[in-house]
Structure 1
Amino acid sequence: MLKTSIDELTVVLQATVSEKMTLENNADWQKLANEIIVEFEKTADLKNIFGERVKETSCPQGYTNGFCYGQHSFYFCIAYNESSYNMGIIVKFSAQSLAYYLKKTNQQVYSFLQTLKSDKYEFRLSRCDVDVDFMNEKFTPTQIFNDLKTEKVLVFYQKNQKNKLIFVRKHAKLQGFAINRDVPTVYVGSIASDCQLRIYDKKLEQIQQNGSKLAWVLQFDSVIRFEVALKHDLAHNITDLLLKVKNDKQLNDLVLSVFLQKFYFKRARTDKATLYTKKMQKALKGDQEYLLGHVNADNDLLQRFKYLLFSSGTISTLYKILAVYGYDDLDQALEYIKNFVQNWNVNDDCRFWLQKHADDTAETFDDFANLKQYLKEN
């Protein structure tokens, strides 16, 4: 079983040529940049989706003036460089902020991009992460890494030669980060290249990080993710392709085509495609729409409660009260804590957490009973 998705986006907005020709100094550019940001936030309905615009101190590298919207646990930023109009205006969606936005607007990436057209600016992607998740499959990142390292499996890319697609061996850099004998994360290709493939145990990652897709991955015995980060010219090219997509099936096919063209795996001994490549080919030929949006989640409160139960020493202290004094005194201790919480003077750290996490947490868990379902020591 597999599914495809687009996980992360970075959009660059550029002023039109005619607008750029009117710029005489940095002050002109800053005025124009803010006009474009206002236009974009209206077009994308950012204030209704995320909240009011506020100053962002942590801008993407090279950008000096930035804004975020609302108070959230995820990262979303619009920024420009006050002295370089050629850098344009960057709109950076993290995976969580993109999932949140698409869920709120009931869109997919292609329909979102197609709503962004404006006479005020031009745009293209500078980064786009495309994913294929394999659920309940027998292969693992460790097996894939070992096969690639020993050259039992070879990597190819497809190239158009004389109007015919041919396979070309890809001599890509291979990295694996081992934990004991396992290699839960594998990188194929250089981080500086137009496309780098990451293969990793998505279920393990979400459990360890109490991630936004924890509830989703727990439905399966295993979730192995193949993730390609498209940058530079490849990100520019996929912009044009996404603007032509008309439905989810076409988006699914586009994502699968990226993998099959850039990372095609063959068994060296038989010259036949590996199981994971075969499954992508089969999905591409099929009629089923595999692309499904993940529900965004804020698990920070869950993580903090797990720490309280399993790592903080709180439970050990309460057990000592039970062992020394008995159940009645344990009840007194719990009642004392309850009263202490109700009468506690809220500090700045707690206020900041509530501003950043409260709304997203309430959307993730309906109530404490819902949160309690995921309270397991991992």
Structure 2
Amino acid sequence: MSGYVWYSSGSDVTGPKLAEALDFHHGKKTPDFDKLDILVGWGCRAESRQKYNPEDLRSKIAQGEIRVLNHPSHISQARNKLALLTKLQAKGIRVPAFINVAGRHPSAGISMLRKAVDEGELILPCLGMNQFHKGRPVFCWTKEDLEKVVLEGATKEGGGNLHYFRSLLQGTEYRIQIFREEALGIEVKALSKDPVAASASNLLAELKKQNQEATQATEGEIRIVVSMLAEDLLRGPSHMLKSVQHGWEWREIAAHHVPAQAISTAISAIYKSGLDMGAVNVVMEEGQPLVTNVISAPGLDEKMLSAYVAAIKDFAKGGVQRKKKKENPAAADEAAAAAAGSEGARPELIAKITRKLRLGNISEEQAEEILKALE
């Protein structure tokens, strides 16, 4: 079996590790689809590759010549987070309320934001976000803050880097690793360091980054750091933004401690974004799961890397024909059982049971009972 893990500069740490564990070829270049049995998209930038022909790949998939996990074109679509949230919202997935000001004249954008605040659609304080989630979110306390950041963006080349605004979420945030219709692992965002100490450490690192060769901080570098401090002080306290720089980290949590709604929403978000696997960020806000991001190439520790490797290997055992996606991911187990009599579905169903057993999600007795029912 010949496989290829296709990644990009932003995913070239976990991508090679995943490929080596699978014994697949890997790289950033467009592979020769004619020579592959399985293609794994891992944050690849297919749209920037001249040799990439999406229609050719779709044809080969339809004819059963190649099996694909995370279609490259769907990865490209998921990279634009504003477009992704819009798509998920249209498909019935709950996302945070947001105001899209991308491509609008500053005065029109300001009017939209002021109206949204007045009508309660946007709650202050809020965050200004880049459509690709590049750079730091901008914290806005008041309508005047909103107007200021929009006008500042208009003076920058390309119209600035803030494309949408959303209310600040204070609920518990989970990162749920999904492989098709299964949660491989879950993490919760937790405060692990003193926010002030973490912010100070981050600012010191930024200062060193500005001039790595300097033995003493120059006035220019100090001004940069002071500007960053002033921005945090004026636009929002650091501890309200749950970032790594402010002392927060992802910690593993058992599935039975996580609301079932969060997990089922994550599975649906992967499905409706067109992906087969990846990480979904879900915030439980006032008892409701809100999807804030879908990541096609998440960072992985050794445990999660092993889980993905096991899942992909079991998928690879399913044969040439790819199992058709279900229209209702929430009913995955029932649909799989109903299809168990089909020779095409049986290998993947058995593989899924085997993986659950290996990961400790079911007991040996439960696995034996299920397998006997398939005989």
| TM over 0.5, shorter chain | no
Find the structure with the greater CA-based Rg. 1
TM-score range, shorter chain: under 0.3
User: Where is the strand percentage greater, Structure 1 or Structure 2?
Assistant: 1
Q: Output the TM-score relative to the length of structure 2.
A: 0.26
TM-score under structure 1 normalisation?
0.26
Larger RCO (CA within 8 A; separation ≥ 6): 1
